Amino acid sequence: MTGAEEKRDAVALADLSDLLVAAWLEVARQAGAGPRPGSAAALDAAEAKRELPAGVPNAEHAAGYMAGRMVDAIALLLQSLGTQLRAEPMVPLAVWPLVRAELEYAGRVAWLLEPLTGSAPAARRVARAMLEHASALQREKYTASKHSGPLAKTYKRNRDELLRRIGVLFSEVHTPLETPDQIGDWRIGGETMIGLGKASDLFLSQNFTKGSGVYDILSDRSHPSVMSLASQSVAEESEGVTSWTYPADPEVLDFQVRLGCLILYKSAHTISAYYGLNSAPLERWADETPAHWLDEGPRATS
């Protein structure tokens, strides 16, 4: 790792983020051969097959599959962050929503693959995956009902079929369907649906010692807010006309990119550990980062 006080410029930070995306892709390609023998993924799959009836094809692999897809999405968002960093002029205002979206995806990964103790952990992991899948169909159905009746019917049919199969897997299925707001009350197989904020906090608590307030600051900077705009802008007057620019603060930029990279780095490690993959590409990337990126938790900075 490089010196702890080093702050790189935007293009150098973009290069560093691109290297991490490449490292993730190198790790992810290993998953094509399936989970390694003795890995958590392999053990979960075997246990779930023993514990659950055959109601949903490949249900024992659903949580890992979904988590992998979501880490892919995090990598794409980090690539988009790199594009913003190379823009002329670079506008840090546009970076906040990308990092926030990364964290929300990482929260789902953390919840889906959270180490579980107690009774029937593999079956409970399947239950979480079913909650994730069914709730996504419910939201899509609701949104489609606003603009396309035929599409809404398709999502409804798919949702109902999935819920029927889930009912074969689990005796406890509580999924009220009147409004999307009820998704927070859904329960399947003893597991309760988790919201974006709580899942994001779960990821932060699993991976950092100083993550308190991070999701809040990302949300405050991503949502419309006159205070957020004021705190990030500088007034400039020319010929009696006032305009506002958004200069990059090196400390804030370091926070944004560092957090965006660490979200992918930590989530990729979660997948690697779950499937028993070789994480050496991720560690080679870590060797190129500023030392403080890995030595401290991501304190909220705005």
Range of the domain at 89: 10-232+245-295
Is pLDDT at 49 greater than 50 in this prediction? yes
Q: Which of the four pLDDT bands, split at 50, 70 and 90, describes residue 183?
A: very high
Given a cut of 50, whether residue 4 has pLDDT beyond it is no
Asked whether residue 81 is assigned to any structural domain, the reply reads yes
Flag whether 17 is in a domain: yes
C-alpha 275/C-alpha 64 separation (Å) is 8
Return the pLDDT at 62. 96
Residue 11 and residue 300 in contact, taking contact as beta carbons nearer than 8 Å: no
Average pLDDT on 261-270 reads 98
**Lowest-confidence segment of 136-140, 196-200, 284-288, 293-297 by average pLDDT:** 293-297
Residue at token pair 């702050």: 7
Domain-embedded: residue 145: yes
Q: Which pLDDT score, from 0 to 100, does residue 33 have?
A: 87
- Please give the full DSSP string across 138-189, using - where no structure is assigned: HHHHHHHTTT-HHHHHHHHHHHHHHHHHHHHH-S-EE---S-GGGGGG-EET
Mean pLDDT confidence for 208-216: 88
Per DSSP bridges, beta strands 241-245 and 191-192 are: unpaired
Residue 282 lies in a domain: yes
pLDDT at 25 over 70: yes
What φ, ψ does residue 288 adopt, rounded to 5°? -95, 0
Predicted model pTM:
0.94
Q: Would you say residue 2 lies in a domain?
A: no
Asked if residue 226 is part of any domain, the answer here is yes
Domain total of the chain: 1
Is the model's pLDDT at 300 over the cut of 90? no
Q: CA 74, CA 301: separation in Å to the nearest integer? A: 21
Checking if the pLDDT of 3 tops 50, the result is: no
Q: Is residue 3 part of a domain?
A: no
- Whether 302 is in a domain gets the answer no
Please give the average per-residue pLDDT across 100-123, as a whole number. Answer: 97
